[in-house]
């Protein structure tokens, strides 16, 4: 299990402001979950109890833990994050996570690749590179990053401030991500011809049409890579092969459909791209620890 540096304290003012924002939003019924999005691209999440493992796709985001602890698994790496630590995600990647200490509270801010590329155009070559960098990294939030995130959160209490100052503070946050030692993958990603950028384009293509069969040679050609280079760099970024990545998308969508009652198990399997019901059931059970029938609405 991966560990990170000792955590720094979260400013009391940030915690108090987050709590005020939560007080304006009723608690979700059921699992003790609260969720609020006070500004565009900014979300606050609060769990009042520990959770079981949940699988999902993380899109580019910075997640700052304000309270409690969370466990996240990406590929073969597992991280335990606590107060003052950040999860930085540069690509759309499948993860498994759970809350291990509650109450749990986190601030999530979408990472805007266009904003990063605009900064790169201003700065020219930034220090460091993305060698050995991965699409998901964990680090301790620096005082400057905490300050910038705190000032961005404060804008939620003033629509006028948010309109005028929001773009500037957002740009500062992205600048600090780009210049931070842990931002190596971001510094690689913003170069249009980098392997990280080409993998990002391949991910978008797979996500757009994940129900259809993948022809690896065609996908590699579409993003301008050789087949061997494409396989190697795709797995280095996502911790999965392209076919494994597609399977994750299919299974996650199948779970969403079953829980929502969108159709039978067999209908769902074929809708997400499976040709064999037995293969679907086997891979679903391996992924989620229970058969698809157990998640089907009406079977519980």
Q: Is 7 inside any structural domain?
A: no
In this structure, are 66 and 179 located in the same domain?
yes
In this structure, are 165 and 269 located in the same domain?
no
Cα separation values, 268 from 56, 194, 271, Å: 18, 37, 5
In this structure, are 164 and 88 located in the same domain?
yes
In this structure, are 19 and 120 located in the same domain?
yes
3-state helix, strand, coil in the chain (%, to 5): 50, 20, 30
Contact 251, 283 (CB under 8 A): yes
Q: How confident is the model at residue 16 (pLDDT cuts 50, 70, 90)?
A: very high
Q: How confident is the model at residue 121 (pLDDT cuts 50, 70, 90)?
A: confident
Helices (H), the chain: 12-23, 113-123, 143-154, 159-179, 184-189, 195-208, 216-223, 227-238, 242-260, 265-271, 277-288, 292-295
In this structure, are 213 and 289 located in the same domain?
yes
Q: How confident is the model at residue 1 (pLDDT cuts 50, 70, 90)?
A: low
Which of 127, 159, 187 corresponds to the end of one domain? Answer: 187
In this structure, are 209 and 79 located in the same domain?
no
Q: Please give the pLDDT value at position 29.
A: 55
Q: Please give the pLDDT value at position 279.
A: 96
Contact 174, 111 (CB under 8 A): yes
In this structure, are 179 and 60 located in the same domain?
yes
Strands 77-82 and 42-47, how do they pair? Answer: unpaired
Q: Is 4 inside any structural domain?
A: no
What percent of the chain stands above pLDDT 90? 74
Full domain range(s) for residue 230:
192-300
Q: Is 261 inside any structural domain?
A: yes
Neighbours of 28 (CB within 10 A): 13
Our count of domains for the chain comes to 2
Q: Is 197 inside any structural domain?
A: yes
pTM: 0.88
Which of 168, 187, 206 corresponds to the end of one domain? Answer: 187
Report the mean per-residue pLDDT for the chain. 89
Which of 146, 170, 187 corresponds to the end of one domain? Answer: 187
Cα separation values, 194 from 39, 131, 242, 267, Å: 32, 12, 18, 40
Q: How confident is the model at residue 298 (pLDDT cuts 50, 70, 90)?
A: low
Q: Looking at the predicted structure, is the pLDDT value of residue 132 above 80?
A: no
Bridge partners, 34 (sequence order): 46
DSSP 195-239: HHHHHHHHHHHHHHTTTSPP-HHHHHHHHT--HHHHHHHHHHHHS
In this structure, are 259 and 288 located in the same domain?
yes
Which residue would you say has higher pLDDT here, 237 or 27? 237
Contact 210, 111 (CB under 8 A): no
In this structure, are 183 and 196 located in the same domain?
no
Q: Please give the pLDDT value at position 30.
A: 56
């Amino acid at each position: 299990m991966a560990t990170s540096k000792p955590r720094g304290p979260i400013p009391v003012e940030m915690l108090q402001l987050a709590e005020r924002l939560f007080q304006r939003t009723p608690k979700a019924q059921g699992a003790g979950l609260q969720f609020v999005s006070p500004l565009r691209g900014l979300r606050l999440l609060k769990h009042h109890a520990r959770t079981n493992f949940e699988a999902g796709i993380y899109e580019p985001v910075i997640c700052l833990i304000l309270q409690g602890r969370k466990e996240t698994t990406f590929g073969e790496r597992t991280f335990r994050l606590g107060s003052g630590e950040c999860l930085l995600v540069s690509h759309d990647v499948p993860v498994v996570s759970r809350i291990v200490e509650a109450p749990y509270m986190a601030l999530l801010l979408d990472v805007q690749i266009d904003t990063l590329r605009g900064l790169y155009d201003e700065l020219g070559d930034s220090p460091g590179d993305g060698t050995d960098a991965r699409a998901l990294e964990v680090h301790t939030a620096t005082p400057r990053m905490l300050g910038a995130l705190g000032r961005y959160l404060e804008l939620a209490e003033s629509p006028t401030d948010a309109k005028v100052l929001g773009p500037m503070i957002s740009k500062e946050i992205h600048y600090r991500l780009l210049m931070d030692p842990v931002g190596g993958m971001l510094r690689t990603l913003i170069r249009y011809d980098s392997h990280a950028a080409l993998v990002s384009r391949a991910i978008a293509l797979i996500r757009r049409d994940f129900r259809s069969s993948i022809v690896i040679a065609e996908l590699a050609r579409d993003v301008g890579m050789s087949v061997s280079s494409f396989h190697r760099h795709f797995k280095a970024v996502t911790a999965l092969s392209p076919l494994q990545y597609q399977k994750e998308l299919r299974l996650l969508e199948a779970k969403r459909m079953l829980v929502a009652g969108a159709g039978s198990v067999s209908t769902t399997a074929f809708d997400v791209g499976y040709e064999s019901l037995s293969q679907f059931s086997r891979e679903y059970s391996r992924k989620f620890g229970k058969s698809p029938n157990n998640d089907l609405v009406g079977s519980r």
